Amino acid sequence: MVERRVSYLRLSVTDRCNLRCRYCMGPDGVPPRRHEDILTYEEILQVAAAAVPMGIDRFRVTGGEPLVRRGVVGLVERLVALEGVREVTMTSNGLLLPDLAVPLRAAGLSRVNLSLDSLRADVYRTLTRGGSLAAALAGLAAALKTGMSPVKLNVVLLKGMNDGEVEDFAALAATYALLVRFIELMPLGESHSWAGVRQVPEPVVLARLARRGRLTPMAGIPGNGPAAYYRWTPRRPVAGPELPGVSPAGDGTATLGLISALSRPFCHTCNRLRLTAEGKLHGCLAKEDGVDLREPLRGGAGPEELGKLVAMAIAHKPLVHDMDGGCGALRHMSRLGG
Ligand code: SAM
Ligand code: SF4
């Protein structure tokens, strides 16, 4: 265990979702939960306010799919207004952004990370169990049109499913002003038993990209967290799919990130905590049990007591994960706030 500078808290506002990505959820989604088991927005804001004096000044709203919880724009607005908060961002599958991107921007959301695992309609549909690529691209277009920058795309690569699209995503990043990050599949929850078969290791992705262009390591991407970034300059000009209403503002080269928890563990640089929708504060996706905040919150704990619990979670952050050690079967990203 180690004490370290932890400055970033992910807030899962729901573990429900309007998609069923095969590596994240089963076909029936998450087990239904009682309304009262989930933290209210008021309670989430109490935790956030207590975390600021502990050094946490950046918040990411996530889930499940955060946009399916009613009133999430108001939560963003109130998080932004908390004293000492530097940045509020969101991770989403983007499906509801055509209606919500402008209100979120107006509420003060700084940036959005969107999950999009395929640019082929049939593969997207299969991977998400029924999702519409056109709807996901409309969400991406809506985010780009608000001017939130940089928009980051998360792409979980799966061998034999979308790993042939690495260059297509690089072309998308070269065409528009966005970053693409290739994420190595983690053996958590739904994918615990089969992730090993589908994983695409980081060296394989880099080799693919190097065949089609020049890769130059980069430093200094804002909020770069665990990703290793590269500038990719294609040998021949490339073009991404058309996004209606979005001007192709890219300069023909792509900024690409790789997040590879297994090929290149980054635990020593990890600066984040995660609060589940049920009020458990976790220091690691793959390790110890969370610190329960719901009972203290409902028992009347004030900011000082909550702050102490946040400090406890920080102090218990492990130095290395144990994803290879079989610990992840019960740990779903949709619950932990990926
Ligand atoms: N629904 C939102 C979305 O998909 O962006 C937010 C929650 S989702 C759990 C957050 C991120 O976790 C997504 O980028 C998703 O692809 C990623 N994720 C889920 N399960 C994963 C796994 N087993 N390995 C790697 N990434 C995973
Ligand atoms: Fe939903 Fe995100 Fe999980 Fe896909 S990865 S099922 S969009 S929570």
- Please report the domains of the chain, with CATH numbers, ordered by start residue: 8-336 (3.20.20.70)
The closest residue, in CA terms, to atom 8 on ligand 1 is 338
3-state secondary structure (DSSP) of residue 286 = coil
Question: Would you state the structure tokens that stand for residue 263, as one six-digit string?
Answer: 């090929």
Q: Give 337 Cα–ligand 2 centroid separation in angstroms.
A: 10
The residue written with tokens 């984040």 in the block is 272
Residue-level pLDDT at 264: 77
The Cα–Cα gap between 170 and 315 comes to 39
Question: What residues are in contact with ligand 1 under a 6 Å CB criterion?
Answer: 17, 23-24, 62-65, 91-93, 115, 154, 156, 183, 185-186, 188, 191, 333-334, 338
- Residues 166, 163: Cα–Cα separation, whole Å: 6
Identify the residue whose C-alpha is closest to ligand 1 atom 10: 338
CA of 106 to the centre of ligand 1 (A): 26
Atom of ligand 2 nearest to the CA of 65: 8
CA of 212 to the centre of ligand 2 (A): 30
In the block, residue with structure tokens 């394989």? 204
Spans of the chain below 70 pLDDT: 1-4, 221-224, 266-268, 285-288, 318-338
Question: Quick one: which atom of ligand 2 is closest to the CA of 156?
Answer: 5
pLDDT at 314: 87
Mutate which of 16, 19, 28, 285 for ligand 2? The one with the most ligand atoms within 8 Å of its CB, which is: 19
| Confidence (pLDDT) at 123 | 98
Quick one: pLDDT at residue 266?
A: 66
pLDDT at residue number 1 = 46
Q: Is 259 helix (H, G, I), strand (E, B) or coil?
A: strand
Contact 112, 90 (CB under 8 A): yes
Please report the pLDDT score of residue 267 as a whole number: 67
